[in-house]
Structure 1
Amino acid sequence: MGYVHTRDHVKIFYRLIGTGQKTILFIHPPGMGHITFKQQLPLSNHFRLLYIDLRGNGKSEKGEHPIRFSLLARDISDVCAQLEIPKVIICGYSNGASIALETSLNYPNLVEGLLLIGAFPKVDSILLYSEFLLGILTAQCNGMGIISKTIAYAHSYSKKFAEEMAAYFKKTEANTLYQYYKEGLTYDCSERLRDITAPLLLIYGELDYYVHHYQKEFIACLPDTKVAYVSGAKHQVPTKFPNELNAITREFIRTLK
């Protein structure tokens, strides 16, 4: 583990572990940090795992630029370049999947495959819009205690992990989180989906109903898109259904050339 400096001199925390010819890069949702994917550590027996804290999250610096997904994609490219990793399979979760999409669109030669959990290319449903709006308003009111506990509880598989995630979430400043949520609310790559060249697997919780409809848009633009449902799961697949996610990940990577 250590830090990589981006081209605008921002320190990005990373952790690189495991062995294997393939490297999986994990992209977390706003505020949650790389610990979101703790339960994916067993994959290090088969692959290299590259964990990062996005700028302004966890142990990474924020920098002076406003948060844009294109900027975060550039950060990811910088991290991989400095660590001399020419290809990655990106696993993006929730709004982290949107950042994964932007990375794939802007740096197609870097991305070997896309595993997107609860993904959406834009926010076009009332429920999803309401979630983002609530996050924006709470961040504007500096309600980091409320947001951190709510998200930590929703993703907890133990009391210890809930406390760890709540504490890690609070490392993000309220204004930074506000920028992430605002960018996530307005981000839309629907018109560019056809330009994605990497193999794509969408993973949805069986009970995560309000994002299921997005698969139709992906498939319409990218007919070779594969879809996997995790039985009994809602949105929190990486933390609450890790065995299923890890098995799906191993099988997807096995199919890559």
Structure 2
Amino acid sequence: MPIAQTNGINMHYEERGTGEPLILLMGLGADGSVWEEHVKAYEKHFRCILIDNRGSGRSDKPEGPYSTKMMAEDTAGLMKALGIKKAHVSGISMGSAIAQELALAYPETVTSLILNCPWDQCDNYTTRVFESFKSLVGTVDVQTFTRNLQLWIFTPSYHNDNLEDLLAREESGKSNPYPMPAHAFQAQCDACTSHNTVGRLSQISVPTLVTVGDKDIFTPLHYSERIAKEIPGAQLLVYEGSGHTHHWDRLQDYNRETLDFLLQHQN
């Protein structure tokens, strides 16, 4: 089992494919395996590193709170342990917040950056969403919690057209061999609500792509617009009619367009 010691924890990761390194950072409550449908496209061209963030999957799950700066240090330490001096980096949701801090703290280690459904600082609305998740986890069964989360991240149209998929996701959560304890999920929520890169993103100079669904009610479009405006030369890719899970419900388009971006910025 691939484990690296970094920043005081044991971090689990998986490697797939060959080529320039691509660090993949997943979002709140999820482990690196959730990248599977994207890695099927990426691994043909890149050495993909799928990370279980602190608190998730087979990585250590210490007591919180966590912060995105702390988790960026985890990632930087993993890169060092693997002998990776420079990599492309893509992060989804919480992973995008970690990626921002990584690019700011260790700019020399980042070749290109993809920020998916990101935010630079939670407003009152998004803070309350994270706080509701934090208070609910551990008080209901896994299936009920997953359904509540799905109502925020999938659009109404996806629910209407793909209910069987959503029900299957609910069911699979009950058989997760590496369940996330409530304290770890809550600590990741703390990392999300405390994240703040306002006024610093102009320091990022690497090629950057920002992706978002225009129907995202979790981390709404205005966050991505502001981030793309602040990072010099950043591209903004908006998926019309899609929400926080645009990378899944527009999978083929997302894989093609993000892969094109990565290939354009190979060394």
Question: RMSD over aligned Cα, in angstroms?
Answer: 2.5
Unmatched 5+ stretches in structure 2: 155-163
178, 183, 205: which one pairs with 1:175? 183
2:29 corresponding residue in structure 1 = 31
Residue number in structure 1 paired with 2:135: 137
SS in 2 for 1:115: strand
One-letter identity of the residue aligned with 2:130: F
1:124-203 correspondence runs (5 A)? 124=123, 126=125, 128-139=126-137, 142-143=139-140, 145=142, 146-151=144-149, 157=165, 161-165=169-173, 167-168=175-176, 171-203=179-211
Inter-partner Cα distance in structure 1 for 2:30 and 2:177: 5
Residue 252, structure 1, aligned to residue 251, structure 2 = no
Is the alpha carbon distance of 1:106 and 1:212 closer, same or farther for their aligned partners in structure 2, counting shifts above 3 Å? same
Q: How does 1:14-163 map to 2 (within 5 A)?
A: 14-20=13-19, 22-42=20-40, 43-63=42-62, 66-124=65-123, 126=125, 128-139=126-137, 142-143=139-140, 145=142, 146-151=144-149, 157=165, 161-163=169-171
List per-residue Cα deviations over 1:11-50 (Å, max 9, x = no partner).
Answer: 1111011022x22211111211112211112221111111
Choose 194-203 or 219-228, whichever is displaced more.
219-228
Q: Any gaps of 5 or more consecutive residues in structure 1?
A: none
* Superposition TM-score, scaled by structure 2 size: 0.85
AA at the equivalent of 1:27: L
CA distance in 2, matches of 1:88, 1:143: 39
What amino acid maps onto 2:237 in structure 1? A
**TM-score normalised according to structure 1 size:** 0.88
* SS of match in other structure, 1:37: helix
How many correspondences in the alignment? Answer: 253
Instruction: Indicate the larger mover: 236-245 or 157-166.
Output: 157-166
Q: 1:91·1:117 contact (CA, 8 Å) conserved in 2?
A: yes
* Structure 1 residues 23 and 220: CA distance shift in structure 2, 3 A: same
Q: SS of 1:191's equivalent? A: coil
Q: Which amino acid is the alignment partner of residue 233 of structure 2?
A: D
Whole-angstrom CA distance in 2 between matches of 1:3 and 1:178: 24
Deviations 1:101-135 (A, max 9, x none): 11111111111111111111111152x23311211
**In the alignment, structure 1 residue 6 sits paired with structure 2 residue 26:** no
Amino acid at match of 2:253: E
